[in-house]
Amino acid sequence: MKGARRLTILTGAGVSAASGVPTFRGRDGLWRRYRPEDLATPDAFARDPRLVWEWYAWRRELIATCRPNAAHDVIAAWSRNPGCRVLTQNVDDLHLQAGTYELVRMHGSVWELSCWERCAPGTTPWRDTRVPMTNLPPRCPHCGCIARPAVVWFGEALRAQDVDAAVRATACDVFLTVGTSALVYPAAGLVHDARQQGAFTAEINLEDTPASAAVELALHGSAEQILPAIARLL
């Protein structure tokens, strides 16, 4: 990393775990009776938008109490270098709170909304940080139709500009995947693409993932401990 001019970092849920961001399923309350696949889909929203919004409002209230941890801080500091690119699968925006530059949020943000009916101005997400949310489901300020969370649901494609940015980021000297399950595509394939282009690839995770055998270095441990240790050596 000392000699790398181009560094790409891909982050997943493991980076935000130490901040207290709840897991996708949640451990308590109403949502134990539901699978995420039954809520985070366009079909689920079409069937019962209020139910889906109640789930997201609950998640937003929990995430609102969380703050960036040491892993976010190190990544934010590295992102200030011109050759660094940060891609995240997380929707909590803790990377933004930490001050990360040029962040590509591949799966969107729970703090942004878009129009469910896709009215022309409503296709561009708008910021909404109200906690708690009232009058669920919220409405599109442009056309008055129901608004949806501006996140990527199961069965939906990523935004083309985010995919393009991620693909460009695989042309790097070092590709570091941190706290990802390496199960969700297309993000899971990026480390393989980077290695095929000659990048040194490394993984930081608490346990083995499908990417562990493909990278040149796999470090087992928490992101908030390993990343500061690496930063001290640079």
The CATH architecture annotation of domain 22-65+108-151 reads 2-Layer Sandwich (3.30)
Q: Are 181 and 212 in contact (CB under 8 A)?
A: no
> Which residues participate in catalysis according to the annotation?
107
The confidence score (pLDDT) of residue 171 equals: 97
Contact (CB, 8 A) for 206 and 190:
no
Residue ranges of alpha helices (H) inside 64-189 are 70-79, 94-98, 160-169
Q: Where in the chain is the domain with CATH 3.30.1600.10?
A: 22-65+108-151
Of the candidates 104, 95, 94, 92, the one whose C-alpha atom is nearest the C-alpha of residue 76 is 95
pLDDT at position 24:
58
Q: Is the domain covering 1-20+67-107+158-234 a CATH 3.40.50.1220 domain?
A: yes
* The pLDDT value given to residue 38: 79
Per-residue tens of pLDDT for the chain, all 234 residues: 888 999 999 999 999 999 998 755 444 444 556 777 778 999 999 999 999 999 899 889 999 999 999 999 999 999 999 999 999 999 999 999 999 999 999 999 999 999 999 999 889 999 999 999 888 899 999 999 999 999 999 899 999 999 999 999 999 999 999 999 877 788 889 999 999 999 999 999 998 888 888 999 999 999 999 999 999 998
CA distances for 219 relative to 14, 90, 137, angstroms: 13, 21, 43
pTM for this entry: 0.92
Nearest to 206 by CA among 192, 222, 190, 218: 222
Structure tokens of 88?
A: 């995240």
Residues forming CATH 3.40.50.1220 domain(s) in the chain:
1-20+67-107+158-234
Q: Which tokens in the block code for residue 59?
A: 């998640």
pLDDT at position 28: 46
Q: How far apart are CA 160 and CA 170, in angstroms?
A: 16
- At residue 4, the pLDDT reads 92
CA atoms within 13 A on the CB side of 1: 17
